[in-house]
């Protein structure tokens, strides 16, 4: 069976709430890590069956790494430049999307039990909940995410960041936040302004908790704040 590039990215986006660019980055990192974990014949077979767009950005060579689950997720994390807990959610979504289109491909690969378990997770934590909406993260998952978000605080209920800037810079930041495009299911941040400071509050109302969508948005807001506060971005 043929794995279709656009369909795969659409599935990853639907499962995780990522935009198309982030879904592609997740797919590329996962495929590269998976290929490196496979013996040469399996690696060649995998890359022949997948769209070239998914494996032309990272070097894939050398002996099979024989990674366990933790080592595999660490590699996806490094390649995708995302904390391990986010890398796991993304890698699961990519592997499930590949298996949905071509289950025989996954069956034919000599995967360790650890990696094969990622292809059919009992439930993609942080992606969807029992009702089909985004699932709440646990306090432990939020704490792990916050290690990559040093300007944020919070727990499973809410994420918060306070930004203090000169008025002109703060106005520019808030204007950009109002214009930010969000993937489906992501709630806009609550903005509480007090003079030359503003508090940003993130939570997913439908889950009454913090979800992976909020963590993704916190990352995007950090980039936006850094750029806009420095006057790099247009107003």
Give the separation between CA 100 and CA 228, rounded to whole angstroms. Answer: 41
Q: How far from the centroid of its chain's Cα atoms is residue 84's Cα?
A: 10
In this prediction, residue 62 carries a pLDDT of 65
Torsion angles phi and psi, residue 39, rounded to 5: -60, 160
At residue 185, the 3 state secondary structure works out as coil
Torsion angles phi and psi, residue 15, rounded to 5: -75, -30
In this prediction, residue 156 carries a pLDDT of 92
In this prediction, residue 65 carries a pLDDT of 75
In this prediction, residue 207 carries a pLDDT of 84
pLDDT means over runs of 10, the chain (235 residues): 82 80 90 88 88 74 76 89 82 87 83 76 47 74 87 95 93 90 79 93 90 87 85 51
Sign of CA dihedral 201, 149, 197, 186: negative
Q: Is the separation of the CB atoms in 232 and 170 below 8 Å?
A: no
pTM reported for the whole predicted model = 0.55
In this prediction, residue 128 carries a pLDDT of 52
Secondary structure element (H or E) that encloses residue 53, with its range:
none
**Among candidates 77, 64, 62, 100, which has minimal Cα distance to 30?**
77
In this prediction, residue 126 carries a pLDDT of 47
Q: Which domains does the chain have, with CATH numbers?
A: 5-119 (1.10.490.110), 139-229 (3.30.1360.20)
């Amino acid at each position: 069976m043929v794995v279709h590039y656009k369909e795969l990215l659409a599935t990853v986006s639907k499962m995780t709430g990522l935009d198309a660019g982030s879904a592609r980055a997740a797919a590329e990192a996962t495929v590269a890590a998976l290929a490196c974990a496979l013996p040469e014949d399996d690696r060649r077979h995998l890359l022949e069956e997948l769209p070239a767009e998914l494996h032309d950005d990272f070097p894939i060579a050398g002996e099979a790494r024989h990674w366990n689950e933790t080592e595999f997720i660490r590699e996806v994390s490094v390649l995708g430049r995302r904390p391990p807990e986010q890398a796991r959610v993304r890698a699961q979504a990519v592997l499930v999307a590949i298996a949905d289109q071509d289950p025989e491909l996954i069956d034919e690969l000599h995967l360790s039990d650890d990696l094969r378990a990622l292809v059919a997770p009992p439930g993609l934590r942080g992606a969807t909940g029992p009702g089909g909406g985004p699932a709440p993260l646990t306090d432990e998952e939020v704490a792990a995410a916050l290690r990559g978000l040093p300007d944020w605080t919070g727990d499973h209920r809410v994420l918060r960041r306070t930004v203090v800037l000169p008025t002109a810079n703060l106005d520019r930041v808030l204007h950009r936040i109002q214009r930010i495009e969000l993937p489906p299911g992501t709630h806009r941040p609550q903005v509480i302004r007090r003079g030359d400071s503003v508090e940003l509050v993130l939570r997913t109302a439908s889950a009454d908790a913090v979800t992976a969508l909020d963590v993704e948005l916190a990352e995007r807001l950090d980039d936006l704040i850094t750029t806009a506060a420095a006057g790099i971005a247009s107003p």
